[in-house]
Amino acid sequence: MVAMPGHYVARLSSIVTGSEADSLDRGSREARKELLLNSIKTAVHNPVFGIGAGNFEVTAGSWHVAHNSYTELAAEGGFPALILFVLMLYRTMRNIKMTRASKLYEVDPDVRGLTGGLWVSVAAYMISAFFASTEYSMYPYFLVAYTTALYQIVASHEPAATETAARAENEKRYGRRKPGELAWTR
């Protein structure tokens, strides 16, 4: 708060209210709104193939990105590219959901920690993609790879996790056994 410039509060409030005195935003809100609408119009006019990767900046005339990964991807790659991108994000969330449903998730705290961290990362990306053009960066694709790898690891250990969970349940039920001791001999 001490190092914050004097016009910073006015700049933040201009995001919601529009141009504020002393905000130094130079019409940023209106420019972003215009870019968003322009990306939507471009996507509607070029629905199948789009205008080509990286060409929205050129056709917008202002050399600015759309500040929305979804609409910019639809404008540059068409609606099929947008559908594939959204399906990729859906599959990423589904990998996390299936990992959470596994027995290894219940038994292993490391798997729970990784799953929780990946869930937060994917959810944060999906929300932030509405405010930044990141469709060509590697970050979302790394998240897909990480969730897929975690799900494959969990799926390959599922029989062992089921056995471990059953053993833990038996130990709760009967108490700890000595090596070689059978439960019915007590």
Instruction: Give the range of the structural domain holding residue 65, as residue numbers without chain letter.
Output: 25-185
Residue 24 pLDDT greater than 60, yes or no: no
Its pTM stands at 0.72
Residue 56 within a domain: yes
Residue 1 within a domain: no
- The number of folded domains in the chain is 1
The segment with the largest mean pLDDT, out of 31-40, 49-58, 109-118, 165-174, is 109-118
Residue 76 within a domain: yes
Q: Hey, what are 8's tokens?
A: 């910073």
Residue 119 within a domain: yes
pLDDT tens digits along 74-129: 999 999 999 999 999 999 999 999 999 998 999 889 999 999 999 999 999 999 99
Check residues 70 and 8 and name the one with the higher pLDDT.
70
Which class for 135: exposed (0-12), middle (13-18), buried (19 or more C-beta within 10 A)? buried
